[in-house]
Amino acid sequence: MELRNLRYFVALAEELSFTKAARRLHISQPPLSVQIAQLEEEIGVPLFTRTSRSVQLTPAGEVFLNDTRSILDRLSVACDRARSVGSGLAGRIDIGLSGSQFQGPLPSLIARYMQSNAGVSIVLHESRPADQLDELRRGGIDLSISRTPVNDSVLRSQLLFNDPIVVALPAGHRLAEEERLKLSDLSAEPFIMLRTESSAFARLLFDSCIQAGFAPRVVQWVLEVPAIMSLVAAGIGVGFVPRSVACARDDCVYRTLEGGMPRSGVYVVQRCNETNRVAEAFVRMLEESDLSRWQDGN
């Protein structure tokens, strides 16, 4: 059964005139008559009663008209949805991110994007950076927002903004009076640190202390930056945190570190052969956003 014949049938059923239906369809009357006859033969029952003066729907034709209208309406919706997904205006994006990203610019960027793209569903997957990259390679997520850039045959990274590392100190700490600190100034301090197996970036932070001439005395290992800040605020130790999250709580003191710290940035990581047009559109929005407030400090 051809889709064209269904459209011809609806036109004739609504006009109840071969002449008017043919004019509406921009065809001549004989081909319309042939197609309607073929449709009736295919279905096995007459859909119209015809006289020299009128065309009327049979009871079978009335039932068929209702169902055909529904089919054509659903087909139109399906075509519109397919076009929207193909153009990046609708669909789903699965994004992997760690806890610290909820305290940076990402939540407001996601909200702004969803307000402008009502047909897009964004699903967030909170997990360790290392697990995010595994999921990205397997196709479990579309994007990872990470501090660990990856560029290989499968994944590629784009820098969103620089996000220097600062040291978080308990309020009233003896070093809080200093505006800037050297990494070596922290050699005697108890540390709360990210688990080194959680990401390459966590390992870089630990190694930075080694390169500065001391092994950090770690009193607590944690998985997420917010945990560092809570334990620092409680006076348990000091810890390294991104500057973009330093405004999240005022019961810690944050100080810039002079030299010795690895470059830190926030990257969007995606597959090199990404075909999700919606994800690509979201990445373009991130790249075009003004993130200078986060890059230069809050």
pLDDT, tens digit, 9 for 90 and up, residues 158-167: 998 888 889 9
Six token digits for residue 61: 């034709």
Instruction: Inform me whether the pLDDT recorded for 11 exceeds 70.
Output: yes
Question: Using one digit for the tens of pLDDT, what is the confidence trace for 121-134?
Answer: 899 999 888 899 99
* Same-domain check for residues 201 and 58: no
Q: Are residues 171 and 35 in the same domain?
A: no
| Residue 150 and residue 269 in one domain | yes
Among 105, 142, 146, smallest CA distance to 123 is for 142
Q: What is the CATH number of the domain that holds 201?
A: 3.40.190.10
Q: Mean pLDDT of all residues in the chain?
A: 88
Residue from 290, 175, 195 nearest 237 by CA = 175
Domain co-membership, 78 together with 112: no
Over residues 179-190, mean pLDDT: 92
Domain carrying residue 16:
3-86
Q: What is the DSSP letter of 234?
A: T
Residue among 114, 121, 110, 109 at smallest CA distance from 81: 121
Residues linked to residue 258 through DSSP beta bridges, in sequence order: 182
> Exposure pattern of 228-261 as b/e (b: 16+ CB <10 Å)?
bbbbbbeebbbbbbbbbbbebeeebbbbebeeeb
Among 138-147, 152-161, 170-179, 288-297, name the one with the lowest average pLDDT.
288-297
Same-domain check for residues 237 and 272: no
Share of the chain above pLDDT 90, in %: 52
Q: Residue 27 and residue 30: Cα distance in Å, rounded?
A: 9
Same domain for 286 and 157? yes
Q: Based on the fold, state whether residues 169 and 253 are members of the same structural domain.
A: yes
CB contact at 8 A, 264 and 122: no
- Under 8 Å between Cβ of 29 and 18: yes
Q: How many domains does the chain fold into?
A: 3
The angle formed by the CA atoms of residues 261, 264 and 266, to the nearest 5 degrees, is 165
Phi, psi of 167, deg, nearest 5: -100, 135
Radius of gyration of the chain (CA): 32
Q: Is the pLDDT of residue 297 over 60?
A: no
- Tell me how crowded residue 35 is: count the other CB atoms within 10 A of its CB: 19
| Res. 182: pLDDT tops 80 | yes
Mean pLDDT of 42-62: 91
> Does 247 share its domain with 269?
no
Tell me which residue of 281, 267, 291 sits closest to 113, measured CA to CA. 281
Say if residue 145 is in the same domain as residue 291.
yes
Around Cβ 127, how many Cβ atoms within 10 Å?
Answer: 20
Claim to verify: residue 70 and residue 142 sit in the same structural domain: no
Say if residues 77 and 126 touch (Cβ distance below 8 Å).
no
What is residue 245's predicted lDDT score, i.e. its pLDDT?
81
Could you give the CA distance from residue 199 to residue 219 in angstroms, rounded to a whole number?
A: 19
